[in-house]
Amino acid sequence: MNIILLGAPGAGKGTQGLSLAEKFRIPQISTGDILRANVRSRTQLGLKAKEFMDKGALVPDDIVVNMLVDRINADDAKAGCILDGFPRNINQAEVLEKTLASMGKSISTVIGIEVDRKELVRRLSGRRVCRQCGASYHVIFNPPLNIGRCDKCGSEIYQRDDDKEDTIEARLKVYESETFPLVDYYSRKGLYRAIDGKGSVDQITLTIVGAIEQGSDNSKVS
């Protein structure tokens, strides 16, 4: 079972990926997490990627693919995985398809979490992250108990550069031009299921699980 989660920045892919990983007992593989880990470690690939991430632009395909292939080949992904944030364009989708085929695997379902633009900006601009452990908060939906401090480790929480409003607009424009065409790409393959991204986290998770268990078509599930 190899599942792709599609959706604009702020649609909730990371949150739903964690829930689905627990449900199906397969790892959530987030290219965002992989990229940020490389940036923190100041690897050569990480330093190159940071130049693009700080501008809200997509990291070049060759950088992302090199980071991702090793993760897909890890032992805990033998039964499948949930890809969160990859592919981000048609070229990456084609590379992914060929890579999985060489491993005797394929994509089973593509879930698209759909949220309107105004709501996406509200979600992203309020997001805060712990500098130490990476825990995520939101000034409206999930504020920390102590302002500016992480509930888990007590370290400082901050607003990432790519969650500031100017960068958010740039990220959404990049998504619309580069990533949104994947909806048509996977719809033509009969793999795409559109999910209404409004509602409680648990409600959306149940809808996604139902769509995965029912199989793929091109209808919208809400």
Active site residues: 13, 88, 127, 160, 171
Tell me which amino acid residue 106 is: S
Report CA 124 to chain centroid distance, whole Å: 13
Q: What whole-number distance in Å separates Cα of residue 84 and Cα of residue 75?
A: 18
Instruction: Give the 3-state secondary structure percentages of the chain, helix then strand then coil, rounded to 5.
Output: 50, 15, 35
What Cα–Cα distance (Å) separates residue 157 from each residue in 28, 122, 128, 177?
Answer: 24, 18, 6, 32
The pair of structure tokens assigned to 27 is 């790892």
